Each structure stands twice: as C-alpha cells, then as structure tokens.
Amino acid sequence: MRVLVIEDHAEMAETVAVGLRRAQMTVDVALDGPTGLDRALNAGYDVIVLDRDLPGMHGDEVCAELVAAGCRSRVLMLTAAGSNEDLVGGLGLGADDYLPKPFDFPVLIARICALARRTHPAVPPVLREEDLVVDTARRRAWRAGRPLELSPKEFGVLELLAAAHGRAVPAEELLERVWDEFADPFTTAVKITISRLRSKLGDPPLIQTVAKSGYRIGG
C-alpha cells in the first residue's frame, strides 16, 4: 500500500511516516500544500493523509483540486479542530474520511487500511496460489506449510504477485507499489528482491518471468 502524508509539521510528518512504514506501508511525505498536490497528482497513491492547515495552499483547497482532477486516491483529512461543522465541511469537499488531532495511531492505521480497501478491489485476507499461502492481515506467508522469513519488501512483492492471480505484474508496477518515491527507476531492486524470494520459496520454482511483461505466480 502506498501512502502520501501531507503535513507541515516536520516532526509530526516523520513520526506518522515511520509508524506507517513499520506497518509495512510505502510512505512519501510533503510538507506544504503545493508540493503535496503535485505529488498526489503525479503518483499512484492508495491513500493521502492530508492535514487541513497547510502553508502555501490550505488542505481544503488541496482536497478540492484532487477531486476536480479526478484523483482516485482516497483522502483522510486531519485537523486540530474536531467540531461537527469541521467534519461536515471536510467531507463536503470530497474527503473520504476525517480524523481529529490528537489521534491514536492504531486508529489512523485502521482508517487508512479501510480506505485502501475502497481504492482497489478487495483483497482476501488470505491469498492462496498452488502451495503458497499469504496472510495479508498478519503479514506472514507459508510455502507447503513451511513459514517464510521475509523482509517487508519481499512480502510486499509476494503479496502483489499472489493477488494478481496469474497476471504478469510489470517490474515498474512492483517498484511503484512497494518502494517509495526515492527509488531509482533504473534500480535493480525488483530483480534482486525476486531473486531472494525465489531462493526462499525453494523448489519447484513458483515465480515465473514473463518476457516483456514482468513476473507472475501461476497462470
């Protein structure tokens, strides 16, 4: 899951980003309205966590611009004000959810996950492909009953491949969904991660390379 945090308080933004990364999300950060809007419109985020009081461009305006542009990302608006009027105002602008500050971090994660499920077709909590089992909720996987010790990036790639149900997933899509905005588009990170996954999955080989199309499981 890829998340953009638009929050002008640098320490707060970094705290949120670190927490979401620990929850195995891919997170980018913008510290003002114009930068956040530009990134939101030019990258495929599942969820945008949008602070309402931003420099350069108010969060309300950012939200309105995203809606006007047809952005498919779900918007979770944050604000220090928690009145019913603020709630109605934020949702009226096109935000998908609203969370007043201060908030409990587990609640933020739950809200983000709920919004992400509305962005894409629902992914079953447990994915099965041949003798592979991927538990998307507990972030664990097994091959032929054997638990797999996977890094967050390895799990992210495996989850996307399993969720594709035989469709070849391009390396560019894997890079965009599992890594953050600082990933070099010419990096060999996807290739290296696939190689490590194949080694951990063992025989018979499960991940196939499809020429000019990417990687797939099954199909």
Residue 156 has pLDDT above 60, yes or no: yes
Cβ(154)–Cβ(196) below 8 Å: yes
- pLDDT for res 195: 94
Structure-token pair, residue 107: 């609640």
Indicate if 95 and 163 belong to the same structural domain: no
**DSSP code of 123?**
P
Instruction: Report how many domains make up the chain.
Output: 2
Indicate if 115 and 177 belong to the same structural domain: no
Helix (H) and strand (E) counts in the chain: 8, 11
pLDDT per position as a tens digit, 77-128? 888 765 555 555 556 667 888 888 888 898 998 888 888 876 655 556 788 8
pLDDT per position as a tens digit, 162-213? 988 888 988 888 887 787 666 666 678 889 999 999 999 999 999 999 988 8
Structure-token pair, residue 21: 């990364």
Q: Which of 119, 150, 170 is the last residue of a domain?
A: 119
What CATH code is carried by the domain that includes residue 18?
Answer: 3.40.50.2300
Indicate if 11 and 107 belong to the same structural domain: yes
Q: Give me the domain span that covers residue 170.
A: 126-217
Residue 56 has pLDDT above 70, yes or no: yes
CA distance 193 to 48: 27
